[in-house]
Amino acid sequence: GELREAVDGLGAADGPVLLCGDMNIDGLSTNQDDEYRQLMDVFSDFVDLGAEADQPTMCPDEEINELAHRYWSAEPNQRIDYLLFRNPPASWLRVESVTRLFDERLAAHDGPPTFASDHFGLAVKLEVLDEQPAAGLATGASKGSPAG
């Protein structure tokens, strides 16, 4: 629907696109439901870069993230933050790594260490290739698993 139309309007259909954010759809392999499958059907030409590591980004356990626990204590661990990447075969980019960030307490200016958010962040490191790769080598992954 709307999200796909907005993404398609951002750039050339044959160019790389990185869609990232809090989708509030649980993609954790143990919790996946119809919403996640619908998301990946709509973005069938994208790779879910967090699927392989399958780490939760929202952990409301008091021992893991007290901020998430404060707001979502009745919820299970979930993977609701995404890096969806479309990398056409003729692309000049390659995924080097995908990392979960801010999953440890940070020193506070005035007070005890705390988390940056009730969610953990995600980062992707992309390599800019010197030469255009042969078809199929730029992503190095199948749908639903990270490239690299």
How confident is the model over 58-79, as pLDDT tens digits? 999 888 888 899 888 999 999 9
Total residues belonging to the chain? 148
pLDDT digits (tens, 9 = 90+) for 91-141: 889 999 999 999 999 998 888 888 889 999 999 999 999 876 554 444 444
- Sheet containing 47-48: which strands, arranged edge to edge? 17-22, 81-86, 47-48
Instruction: Using the predicted structure, report yes or no on whether residue 11 has a pLDDT greater than 50.
Output: yes
Burial class (CB in 10 A: 0-12, 13-18, 19+), 11: exposed
Looking at residue 58, the DSSP 8-state letter turns out to be: B
* 34's tokens: 């119809």
CB 55 within 8 A of CB 64: no
Residue 79 has what pLDDT?
Answer: 96
The most confident of 12-16, 57-61, 136-140, 142-146, by mean pLDDT: 57-61
Residue 134 has what pLDDT?
Answer: 56
Question: Residue 88: which residues within 8 A CB-CB, separation 6 or more?
Answer: 14, 15, 16, 138
Instruction: Using the predicted structure, report yes or no on whether residue 40 has a pLDDT greater than 50.
Output: yes
